[in-house]
Structure 1
Amino acid sequence: MRHGVRGKNPLLRFAVVTALAATPLLTLVSIGQADPLAPPLGPCVGTCPNPFPQPPHNGDFAGSDSTINIYVGGNYTVQGRAAEAEGKIVTVKDLTIDKDGGGLFNMSVVGVGSRVPPPTGTDFVTVGGAVDVRPDNRLQVGGADSKETRWGNLVYGTNQSGTIEMAPTGEVVKNPAAIDGYSGLTATIEGHSACMAQQTATGAMTVDGNLYTFTGDGTSMRQVFNVDRNIGNATGAAADMVFTGIPAGATVIVNMVGPEPVLIRTNTGSGFPGDPMAELQPRLMWNIPNAADATITGGAQFQGSVMSGNPDGTVTLSSPGTNGRVYLAGNLLQTAPAGSTTGTELHAYPFDGDLPVCTSPSPSPSPSDSTSPSPSPSPSESTSPSPSPSPSTSESPSPSPSTSESPSPSPSPSSSGSTSPAPSPSGSTPQPTGSGSTPAGPPLPNTGGDSLVAPAAGAAAVLLGLGGAVIALARRARGRHS
């Protein structure tokens, strides 16, 4: 009489247990690791406040951050009544300051924003080409709070003209090689933008009058919305936006894949405590993969990072405040809507989300022939227990307090070397800070997953091997005793 595996064949029972023990390890291998943007892009690196202060914050410095906040693969042009651009700034081609009626433009240290500037003594602004500050305009780099002065260098590659005021003891330095350390970042941004645009949507945007509602699936830790139309319009009312069905801690990607010119015009986003958009901001990415012409505007403190993958494209930012990283393969125009006297500002806030990884170049969104920056496959999306709805429709959030001329953040006796400093001929050839040399398509950072995956895979293989061997022995034993 047979009694099954339990009574007759302990070897076979051991083999089953061994195979089951390998299963969670194989599951761990299949999950892989998270993929935040790799330095010098993405999360804050330095003395990082948690949380970052939201505008309107004009108090003392809240920390320091060596991550690039604004990267422009083409030309960076300041027009209209633009007022400030915060954080570490890199533009591959030219920087032009040409405000309507002239006036002051602050870079790296600003009067109102997160107040988390780059570390003192580093390269605050790096320009691969020329710096042209037009007549009646002034460019100020660095500044002070009530306790200290934060100063850094402006490094440029070819020519410099106009009035540049450096907080002591920052310098204006000519170094044609300064941009070389960032040479791979344009291709990296193109690759990430194209990869995001390939992702299958997990949610959808619906429109009811002036209300644009983004409804996620409530579970995926990477929420993707593929939007094939503009948000708001140029002549009617600006859009009110609501995100719902977004699990706590999820990354949110909004791919703007509609017809050109791409437009996001919204009054949603105040930055004040309790603002649902400000809660999403650290993990919210607005992706513009293809457009030659895209504009983000409205009366809001626009929340979230912006990425554009077209190296021939131009993104225009004209909201009172943009709170997040700005990473563009092409050009940036920072201005204000026609007839507006509101000063537009770009504020330094990290992007802490996880982006998908593609194993091959995208066939369509990126016009360049660059490859995707990371070889590893995108992990499947995990689930999260609780959606976090975002109820506010905020009809008229307050604009940034900065009006026409941004208050100078630097009460310090200004400008040692100031009104038109000559290029420094010294042997000081500062290298880009925060990252050192960044090769093309830098690898994604090690978040600890790979240190677990390799041993787990090995352990799983050993256990499965043991299981297979024991099964073979068990079958032989059964053959002898049956």
Structure 2
Amino acid sequence: MLHTGVRRIGTVVAIGALAGAGVVAVAPLADPPAAVAAVGECPPGTIPGPGNTNPIWTDNNVAIYAGQDFRAEAGAAEAEGLVVVQGDADFTKSPGGTFNVGWVGVGSGVVPSPGETMLAVGGDVSVGAGTVLDVGANARNAANELVGGNVDVGGITTPDYETDGSRYRLNNGTLTQDLGADATANWSTWGTEITTMSAEYAALAATGTVTAAFTVIDFVGDGAAAQQVFTVTSAALAANPEIHFTGIPDGASVVINVTGSGAASWAPYYFSDNGVRVDAPTSADFGTVAQRTLWNFVSAASLHVAGPSQVLGSILLPAADPADDQPAMRVTASTNGRLYTNGTIVMDGVGNEHHNYPWIDPPFDCIPEPIVPLVTGSVTIAKEISAEDAALLPEGVLFYGTVVCQLPEDGGKFVTEWYVAPGESEVVDGLPVGASCVIHESIGVGSRAVAPLVLVGPVLAPTYFLWQTPVWDPSPPQFVVPASDDPVQFTFTVTNALVRGAFTIEKSVEGEGAPDATFTGTWSCTLAGEAIGDGEWLLQAGQTTEPIEALVGATCTVAEIAPSDPDGGSWSAPVIDPPSVTITAASAQEPLTFVVTNTFVPDPVLGGFDIVKVVDDPDGVGFDDSFGGTWSCTAEGSEAAGGSWTATTTEPFAVDDIAVGATCSVTEDAPADPEDGTWGDVEIAPASFVVEDAETRVIVTVTNTLTADALATGGGALPATGTTVPWWAIAVGGALLIGGAAVVLITVVRRRRS
């Protein structure tokens, strides 16, 4: 938690600005109020609505804070409470008149201590013609002496207060110009606190419900929580100007987170609590609702607070990114609470006033003690980081931390922030002289490096970086703030380094007979989708790389370039286990390991066999000497090879390139029978066989037997049933046969002639 002053550290309070009309300041003021509380007392309990007879209470906390400029224009009337402006302040009313600051004619009566600073401006102050800047009107001390209020100016005044004070009414107070940063040093961290606390409130879970319909928004609390939280859109606020609260416990604070970017406009005209209207200044609960309520415009680029009602509650607007020539906050209504923004505030309504109703939760609650002007010194912080780490960071990155000082007077704390770029140094000034201070740098994933955002302030850079603990020189980074003219000044150097882990690549080779070989490949790492490193590796079997460093959180992978196949075999595709690794902090001591395995597959040993054709033709029938069929081989149960064959009885068929160990078999296509014969069943030997080695070829004999048909042999094939006929009998029989045939032929011829 950051605090923007010297009093304490607290919770950020959202600014409350409520706009309204009908209450007009009196200038110059008349006699002091009848009831005057003792100086240094915050208001107990409820504060009445705005009036000119309220008791006087003391509040030296900031009522209005503008991180840039402040302008009072048109008919704006008054700003009650302490006003702090980091830029320039201009008071030019049209057509002129008085603008009250600090103490006012009609207000809450909660005002800065008499004689203390009521307007602090970091830049210049200008007061237009016809306008009077009235500071601390009727601000009287315990002795009822008019002591007014003081004005601290970092730059100059126009007209120059020292030569022409006609437009300045300080009521016995003082105006000091040319103060530089000291003018607003007590509030140097407020801009950051506003941004930080707005974000903290925006992150709170809602405790109540919101219903918007027919111009009415109902905020219904749970009746129990000490801090009631609601969420509503800026569009809903703009469309429903009646604000109704119910179920808010006594003493509870109320945070209303208003969402929606862009330009917001809000013009409420009615506030009620438990069914009773409370925005009339005479309402007994006016101050209760104004003090307890905080409107947190989380992401609005700008805000216009308008409308005819008294706007109840503090208003917090952290953004400062309005459209060109427009203020961050424009107020044309009367507001009741606190007004805080990192941008410019313009009050330009008709008689509109800001009434100081401190929020009831710290750090923007009432602070009765005066803020003591600081005598300030400084410290220098230098940043060192390796070029390798710096190259990985987004462009424009700054490193962030705080300086926490223990105030010697009352034990309070002063906290300010610092930002420094790699390789540069930063002077942190505005530190209270004599305070004991410690420098801190934020630690954790992504929380140290920040990137600047124009107008709003720094925002976190990518959160995927993990940093080592900062190293300080001298160490520890503690010191007592010296005065600016002290010859001993302090410079602390802080060195940062990203946390790295490591991985290795191991080469494994498997397979019988694997030859010696060198393997090569690449590695690469990414973090949040961005490449952050790559390289090459070269290994032989059994070797492991040296540890390769990579940022913690990175995802790394390994690839291998396909090796050339050696003689006698080939390499299978590499197996990389695991496929990827995520780098851990522990891997710096025990690197993660990739194992890249290649398996050598030797070329197979090949053999073969011959198919020899044998034909048995005992009858000499004759045949077409061309035979064929198929062959096939299997290895480990699966077909490994196969094809067809053709052979003759004189030309065998050779089958080559068969893996040793394969089991093979041969079949023959049945040959066509010749004209005078028939093929018998084929005989194949061996019917199945194994190719045993490369040198021994198996001879597969395919034998076919051809048998002559019976008619082709003249019946000679029939078995004999009688005795053997002598040769001479056969000759006689033949002669008789021939003679008989001749007789027959002659007879036929004769008949044809007749």
Q: What range describes the TM-score normalised by the shorter chain of this pair?
A: 0.5 to 0.7
Letter in 1 for 2:151: L
RMSD: 3.6
In the alignment, what sits opposite 2:335? Answer: 322
Is residue 2:97 matched to residue 1:81?
Answer: no
Q: Secondary structure at the match of 1:219?
A: coil
For the 8 Å contact 2:50–2:355, the answer to whether it is kept is: no
Shift of 1:166: 2.7
1:246 to 245, 248, 262: 248
Shift of 1:285: 0.6
> What is the rounded CA distance, in whole Å, between the counterparts of 1:95 and 1:143 in structure 2?
19
Shift of 1:54: 2.6
> What is the rounded CA distance, in whole Å, between the counterparts of 2:398 and 2:289 in structure 1?
33
Shift of 1:435: 12
Shift of 1:323: 1.1
In the alignment, what sits opposite 2:288? Answer: 279
Is residue 2:356 matched to residue 1:348?
Answer: yes
* Cα distance change on mapping 1:220 and 1:295 into 2, 3 Å: same
In the alignment, what sits opposite 1:106? Answer: 100
For the 8 Å contact 2:49–2:283, the answer to whether it is kept is: no
In the alignment, what sits opposite 2:567? Answer: none
Equivalent residue runs for 1:173-192 within 5 Å: 173-174=176-177, 175-176=179-180, 177-192=182-197
Larger Rg belongs to:
2
* Cα distance change on mapping 1:103 and 1:169 into 2, 3 Å: same
Shift of 1:310: 1.2
For the 8 Å contact 2:217–2:241, the answer to whether it is kept is: yes
In the alignment, what sits opposite 1:447? Answer: none
TM-score normalized by the length of structure 1:
0.61
In the alignment, what sits opposite 2:556? Answer: none
Shift of 1:53: 3.8
Q: Deviations over 1:414-441 (max 9, x none)?
A: xxxxxxxxxxxxxxxxxxxx99984326
Shift of 1:107: 0.7
Equivalent residue runs for 1:188-199 within 5 Å: 188-199=193-204
> What is the rounded CA distance, in whole Å, between the counterparts of 1:159 and 1:435 in structure 2?
35
In the alignment, what sits opposite 2:157? Answer: 160
Equivalent residue runs for 1:371-386 within 5 Å: none
* Cα distance change on mapping 1:133 and 1:275 into 2, 3 Å: same
> What is the rounded CA distance, in whole Å, between the counterparts of 2:110 and 2:285 in structure 1?
22
* Cα distance change on mapping 1:372 and 1:82 into 2, 3 Å: farther
Q: Secondary structure at the match of 1:179?
A: helix
For structure 1, which segment, 126-135 or 174-183, has the greater mean C-alpha deviation from structure 2 after superposition? Answer: 174-183
> What is the rounded CA distance, in whole Å, between the counterparts of 1:91 and 1:217 in structure 2?
38
Is residue 2:271 matched to residue 1:262?
Answer: no
> What is the rounded CA distance, in whole Å, between the counterparts of 2:411 and 2:201 in structure 1?
24
In the alignment, what sits opposite 1:414? Answer: none
Q: Secondary structure at the match of 1:347?
A: strand
Shift of 1:271: 4.5
Letter in 2 for 1:221: A
1:289 to 286, 292, 298: 298
For the 8 Å contact 2:12–2:193, the answer to whether it is kept is: no
> What is the rounded CA distance, in whole Å, between the counterparts of 2:260 and 2:110 in structure 1?
35
* Cα distance change on mapping 1:352 and 1:136 into 2, 3 Å: same
Q: Secondary structure at the match of 1:263?
A: strand
Shift of 1:136: 2.0
For the 8 Å contact 1:119–1:150, the answer to whether it is kept is: no
Equivalent residue runs for 1:65-464 within 5 Å: 65-144=59-138, 148-162=145-159, 163-174=166-177, 175-176=179-180, 177-231=182-236, 233=238, 239-269=241-271, 270-274=279-283, 276=285, 278-313=287-322, 314-319=328-333, 321-336=334-349, 342-353=350-361, 438-440=414-416
| Structure 1: unaligned runs, 5 residues or longer | 1-34, 337-341, 356-367, 376-433, 443-482
TM-score normalized by the length of structure 2:
0.40
* Cα distance change on mapping 1:246 and 1:332 into 2, 3 Å: same
Shift of 1:156: 0.6
> What is the rounded CA distance, in whole Å, between the counterparts of 1:277 and 1:168 in structure 2?
30
Q: Secondary structure at the match of 1:218?
A: coil
Q: Secondary structure at the match of 2:193?
A: helix
Letter in 2 for 1:88: L
Higher helix share: 1
| Structure 2: unaligned runs, 5 residues or longer | 1-8, 17-38, 160-165, 272-278, 323-327, 364-396, 405-409, 419-754
For the 8 Å contact 2:138–2:171, the answer to whether it is kept is: no
Shift of 1:124: 1.3
* Cα distance change on mapping 1:199 and 1:119 into 2, 3 Å: same
Q: Secondary structure at the match of 1:143?
A: coil
Q: Secondary structure at the match of 1:439?
A: strand
Structure 1 vs Structure 2: percent identity of aligned residues?
29
Letter in 2 for 1:352: I
- Larger RCO: Structure 1 or Structure 2 (Cα < 8 Å, ≥ 6 residues apart)? 1
Is residue 2:50 matched to residue 1:56?
Answer: yes
For structure 1, which segment, 272-281 or 159-168, has the greater mean C-alpha deviation from structure 2 after superposition? Answer: 272-281
Letter in 2 for 1:287: N
> What is the rounded CA distance, in whole Å, between the counterparts of 2:344 and 2:213 in structure 1?
33
